[in-house]
Structure 1
Amino acid sequence: MKIAQICPRYFPDIGGVETHVKEISERLVKAGHDVEVITTDPTGKLNRRETINGVKVIRFRSFAPGNAYYFAPQIYFYLKMHSFDVIHAHSYHALPALFAALGKSERRLVFTPHYHRSGHTAFRNLLHKPYRLFGKVIFSRADSVICVSEYEKRLVEADFRVAGKTVKIPNGINLAEFKHLRALQKDEGIEGKTGKEKTLLYVGRLEEYKGVQYIIQSMPELQEFRLKVVGKGPYEAELRSMAKSLGVEGRVEWLKDLSRRELLKCYAGADIFLMLSSHEAYGITVAEALAAGTPCVVAKGSALEEFVDGTRCLGVDEPIKKEEIIKLINKLKDMKQNSRFTTESLTIFDWDYITEEIENIYNN
Structure 2
Amino acid sequence: MSADTTTADRPLTVLLVAETYPPDVNGAAQFGHRLARGLHEQGHRVHVLCARPGPGPSCRAEDGGVVEHRLRSHRAFTHPYFRLCFPWQVAGEIRRVLDDVRPDVVHVQCHYILGRMLVREARRRGIRTVATNHFVPENLEPFLPVPEWVLERYRAVSWRDMVRVFGACDVVTAPTPLAVRTMRSHGFPDTVLPVSNGIRIADYEAHGNERPRADRPATVLFTGRLAVEKNVDVLIEALSLLPAELDAHLELAGDGEQRPALERLARGLGVAQRVHFLGYVPDDELRAAYLRADVFCQPGTAELQSLVTLEAMAASRPVVLADAQALPHLAENGVNGWLFTPGDAQDLAHRLALVLGAPPEERERMGRESRHKVAQHSFPRTLETFLRIYRGDRPHTLRVPSQGPGRFRTRLVSLVR
- Give the secondary-structure state (helix, strand or coil) at the position aligned to 2:373: coil
Counterpart CA distance in 2 for 1:76 and 1:16 is: 27
For residue 206 of structure 1, what is the aligned residue in structure 2? Answer: 226
Residue 113 of structure 1: which of 116, 128, 133 is its match? 133
Counterpart CA distance in 2 for 1:47 and 1:97 is: 17
Question: Is the CA contact (8 Å cut-off) linking 1:9 and 1:41 kept in structure 2?
Answer: no
Structure 1 outlier segments of 4+, above 4 Å: none
Structure 1 window deviating more from structure 2 (113-122 vs 242-251): it is 113-122
Residue 151 of structure 1: which of 143, 157, 178 is its match? 178
Counterpart CA distance in 2 for 1:47 and 1:103 is: 19
Residue 259 of structure 2: which of 220, 230, 236 is its match? 236
Offset at 1:116? 3.0
Question: Is the CA contact (8 Å cut-off) linking 1:98 and 1:137 kept in structure 2?
Answer: no
Counterpart CA distance in 2 for 1:292 and 1:48 is: 38
The correspondence of residues 217-296 of structure 1 with structure 2, limited to 5 A, is 217-222=237-242, 223=244, 224-296=247-319
Offset at 1:266? 0.0
Matched, 1:174 2:200: yes
Residue 378 of structure 2: which of 350, 353, 361 is its match? 350
Matched, 1:6 2:25: no
Q: Please tell me the residue identity of whatever aligns with 1:238.
A: A
Matched, 1:98 2:122: no
Offset at 1:123? 6.2
For residue 314 of structure 1, what is the aligned residue in structure 2? Answer: 338
Q: Please tell me the residue identity of whatever aligns with 1:312.
A: N
Offset at 1:195? 2.9
- Give the secondary-structure state (helix, strand or coil) at the position aligned to 1:339: helix
Counterpart CA distance in 1 for 2:216 and 2:36 is: 42
Question: Is the CA contact (8 Å cut-off) linking 2:330 and 2:373 kept in structure 1?
Answer: no
Offset at 1:117? 4.8
For residue 305 of structure 1, what is the aligned residue in structure 2? Answer: 328
Q: Please tell me the residue identity of whatever aligns with 1:216.
A: I
Offset at 1:49? 2.6
Question: Is the CA contact (8 Å cut-off) linking 1:208 and 1:235 kept in structure 2?
Answer: yes
Which structure 2 residue ranges, 5 or more long, are not aligned? 1-11, 145-150, 393-417
Structure 1 window deviating more from structure 2 (308-317 vs 341-350): it is 341-350
Using the size of structure 1 for normalisation, the TM-score is: 0.90
Residue 361 of structure 1: which of 365, 389, 392 is its match? 389
Sequence identity (%): 21
Counterpart CA distance in 2 for 1:45 and 1:69 is: 12
Matched, 1:24 2:35: yes
- Give the secondary-structure state (helix, strand or coil) at the position aligned to 1:282: coil
Q: Please tell me the residue identity of whatever aligns with 1:351.
A: F
For residue 77 of structure 2, what is the aligned residue in structure 1? Answer: 65
Which structure 1 residue ranges, 5 or more long, are not aligned? none
Paired residues, what number? 355
For residue 409 of structure 2, what is the aligned residue in structure 1? Answer: none
Offset at 1:257? 3.0
- Give the secondary-structure state (helix, strand or coil) at the position aligned to 1:330: helix
RMSD across aligned C-alpha pairs, in angstroms?
2.3
Offset at 1:229? 0.6
Counterpart CA distance in 2 for 1:175 and 1:211 is: 27
- Give the secondary-structure state (helix, strand or coil) at the position aligned to 1:141: coil
Structure 1 window deviating more from structure 2 (205-214 vs 2-11): it is 2-11
Question: Is the CA contact (8 Å cut-off) linking 2:310 and 2:374 kept in structure 1?
Answer: no
Q: Please tell me the residue identity of whatever aligns with 2:386.
A: I
Counterpart CA distance in 1 for 2:51 and 2:141 is: 22
Q: Which has the larger radius of gyration?
A: 2
Offset at 1:109? 1.1
- Give the secondary-structure state (helix, strand or coil) at the position aligned to 1:100: helix
| CA distance 1:184–1:14, shift in 2 (3 Å) | farther
| CA distance 1:243–1:214, shift in 2 (3 Å) | same
For residue 408 of structure 2, what is the aligned residue in structure 1? Answer: none
